[in-house]
Amino acid sequence: MIPPQPVPVRCPRCQTPFEAPVQSIINVKEAPGLKDDLLVGRLNVATCPACGARLRVSSPLFYYDPAKELAVAFMPLEMGLPQADQDHLIGSMANALTESLPAEERRFYILNPKVVLSQQGLLETILEADGVTREMLEAQANRARLLGELLDNVDDEATLARLVEADKDSIDYEFYLMIAGLMENAQEIGAPDEAARLAVLRDRLIALTGGPSQPLPEPLTGEVSDEAVIQQLLDTDPQALLTLVAVNRPRFDYVFFQTLTNQMEATAAAGDADKAARLGKLRDDILAAADTVDREMQASLRQGATLLQTILSSDDPPAAIQQHLSEINDAFLLVLSANIQQAYEDGRNDVAQMLEGLYAYILARLELELPTELQLVNRLLRLAEPAQRAEVLAAEASYVTPALADALEHVATEATEQSRAELAQQARTIAQEVRARLAEGA
């Protein structure tokens, strides 16, 4: 793998000059993780040593994916390079990549890459090579917009019902699959609150629309072995297989495919050619389904990553958050959570803590958009001591109503369904405190 090179940059916030490591060549075959970093906005992101600001370093990049026969040179328009300098730089990167390859893997098209001038153009070119068309990107963007709007109003029954009625045709089977996929990803990266909020929205959409046109498959629990899952899937038709993979995408990992391959080879060795062929077809079908799900998810996460970089590169991130608050959805929060987790894994605790502060600020701003009663519910749930809650209830006496107690009971019911026993108990206790205060005033 061609290592990153240090380049001089200047912090847009405090104007401090420093050097940042920049990856200028990506060979997807050698380093597939760099492609993932690029798509979710983690590639070539630097942290100012003086003020801690995060900024994306916009610099030339050569992207090479031999499986797709794709060579792309990204030349940022803002650099304003003359054509001759641009051609020279592209040639230098193409030659460096070619020299790093074994002779039998060198291809002529590397020396004649597609040139793009914007980050958006680079991402769209990569995704289109993966089978994500511009129409699919636009459809995904519309679904993400609708999902964000519905999530913003999930606790406002009247507004939610109005939005659902206006976009009823868009809340189709694929829309429910997108929610299921985001729920799985939220659980996978350790964001249970986001998964729970998506589950609440899903249940309320089902109540308003009657649910998807066909039942979504049940999640595969950890108690079900890979061998049992393989046996269950052998006779599953391709469309049902696609939906099952969408709902359980993290389950179909390297270990699962290794188990499936081992079964196929053992069956063939035992002389059962028919079953070995069925297992081989199942493997191909699952790989194709996983690829389809991943493309949809990449499009959604890419939009979240673009927004995160816009916020991080702003001179005033809080103002940028407020400006883009309506665009912040669960895909964005997933990208932010993934960046926090990656920063901790890389030992960059200062960056992780800065991003956690950003996350907390965003959640606080989103909470301010909720009705006052729901803000009060969240505030009460954060208080561990009964005396603290009593002070809040006394100060907000006008909102201490039977509806507040009912809202807390609703939280308890949903928390129980999601196996969050501690939250369920907390909500029930506070509901009892509210009812006791109502009884005192009766």
Domain boundaries, the chain: 1-130, 138-209, 371-441
CB 283 within 8 A of CB 260: yes
* Beta strand 54-56 pairing with 45-47: antiparallel
C-alpha to C-alpha distance for 199 and 181, rounded to whole angstroms: 11
DSSP code, position 111 = G
What DSSP element (H or E) covers 26? strand 25-27
Please, what are the averages of pLDDT over each run of 10 residues along the chain (442 residues)? 83 84 91 80 81 80 92 85 86 91 90 86 81 67 77 82 85 76 63 74 83 60 75 75 72 81 88 88 83 67 74 79 75 74 74 75 67 73 83 84 83 71 84 87 59
Main-chain dihedrals φ then ψ at residue 118, nearest 5 degrees:
-140, 155
State residue 286's pLDDT score.
Answer: 84
Is residue 65 helix, strand or coil? strand
Q: Which residues contact 188 (CB under 8 A, 6 or more apart)?
A: 250
Place of tokens 């916030």: 13
Lookup: tokens for 433? 């405190």
State residue 373's pLDDT score.
Answer: 67
Q: Which residues contact 436 (CB under 8 A, 6 or more apart)?
A: none
State residue 217's pLDDT score.
Answer: 59
State residue 229's pLDDT score.
Answer: 83
Q: b vs e for 413-426, b when ≥16 Cβ sit within 10 Å of the residue's Cβ?
A: ebbeeeebeebbeb
| Radius of gyration of the chain, Cα coordinates, nearest whole angstrom | 25
Bridge partners for 70 per DSSP: 65
CB 150 within 8 A of CB 163: yes
Lookup: tokens for 37? 């970093």
Residue closest to 68 by CA, chosen among 20, 13, 125: 125
Count of C-beta atoms within a 10 Å radius of residue 215: 10
* Cα–Cα distances in angstroms (integers) from residue 256 to residues 62, 130, 263, 290, in the given order: 33, 23, 11, 12
State residue 93's pLDDT score.
Answer: 92
pTM exceeds 0.85, yes or no: no
Lookup: tokens for 43? 């590639």
